[in-house]
């Protein structure tokens, strides 16, 4: 019995050690994945536009690290897709979305009713104003994502080429 008990004890200790090693490896892999996700996120243009099919740049970065295509970020362009491929060790591939021209939102202020729906929709807080007051876009902050256009009930927001006079 003593030999059997000792053998079982050694087997259980070995299994416990393997379990501890597996957990440590899982934590190490998660830290590595988090670091890679942060690196991928830093390479994205931070427009939070959702054109890639994800809710913003952080969810897209997570998806890319988990295997999603690195070619969906239109604002990042082909250069951005190539950077992502290099960081991820993937082959270079053509961008799956057309590269947009640099746009900026402009509010036709005389038509604005101050509903604040555009302010709520803007992912980068580029629209300033208050309820029942006219709103304006801070051009330097605007990413041209067009997320403010659809919610506007009076259709007073235009996207124009950056630098063009409104």
Residues near 139 by beta carbon (within 8 Å), at least 6 away in sequence: 104, 126, 162
Residue 64 has pLDDT above 80, yes or no: yes
Residues 80-106, mean pLDDT to the nearest whole number: 88
Of 56, 88, 120, the position where a domain reaches its end is 88
Same domain, 34 and 77: yes
Quickly state the pLDDT bin for 51 (edges 50, 70, 90): confident
What pLDDT, on the 0 to 100 scale, is given for residue 79?
Answer: 92
Residue 24 has pLDDT above 60, yes or no: no
Residue 98 has pLDDT above 80, yes or no: no
Indicate which CATH number applies to the domain containing 108. Answer: 3.30.70.20
Same domain, 161 and 137: yes
What pLDDT, on the 0 to 100 scale, is given for residue 10?
Answer: 66
Of 29, 63, 88, the position where a domain reaches its end is 88
What pLDDT, on the 0 to 100 scale, is given for residue 60?
Answer: 95
What pLDDT, on the 0 to 100 scale, is given for residue 141?
Answer: 87
Domain that holds residue 23: 2-88
Residues 85-113, mean pLDDT to the nearest whole number: 88
Answer whether 92's CB lies under 8 Å from 70's CB.
no
Of 59, 88, 117, the position where a domain reaches its end is 88
How far apart (Å, rounded) are the C-alpha atoms in residues 95 and 64?
14
- 94 within a domain of the structure (yes/no): no
What is the count of structural domains for the chain? 2
Residues 58-72, mean pLDDT to the nearest whole number: 95
Please give the distance of CA 123 from its chain centroid, rounded to a whole number.
11
């Amino acid at each position: 019995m003593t030999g059997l008990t000792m053998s079982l004890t050694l087997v259980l200790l070995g299994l416990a050690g393997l379990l501890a090693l597996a957990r440590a490896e899982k934590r190490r892999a998660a830290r590595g994945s988090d670091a890679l996700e942060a690196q991928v996120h830093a390479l994205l243009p931070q427009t939070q536009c959702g054109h890639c099919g994800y809710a913003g740049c952080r969810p897209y970065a997570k998806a890319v690290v988990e295997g999603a295509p690195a070619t969906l970020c239109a604002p990042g362009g082909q250069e951005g897709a190539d950077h992502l491929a290099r960081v991820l060790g993937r082959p270079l591939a053509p961008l799956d979305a057309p590269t947009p021209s640099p746009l900026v939102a402009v509010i036709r202020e005389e038509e604005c009713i101050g509903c604040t729906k555009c302010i709520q929709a803007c992912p980068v807080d580029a629209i300033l104003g208050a309820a029942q007051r006219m709103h304006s876009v801070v051009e330097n902050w605007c990413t041209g994502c067009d997320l403010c256009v659809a919610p506007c009930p009076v259709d007073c927001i235009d996207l124009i080429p950056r630098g063009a006079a409104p």
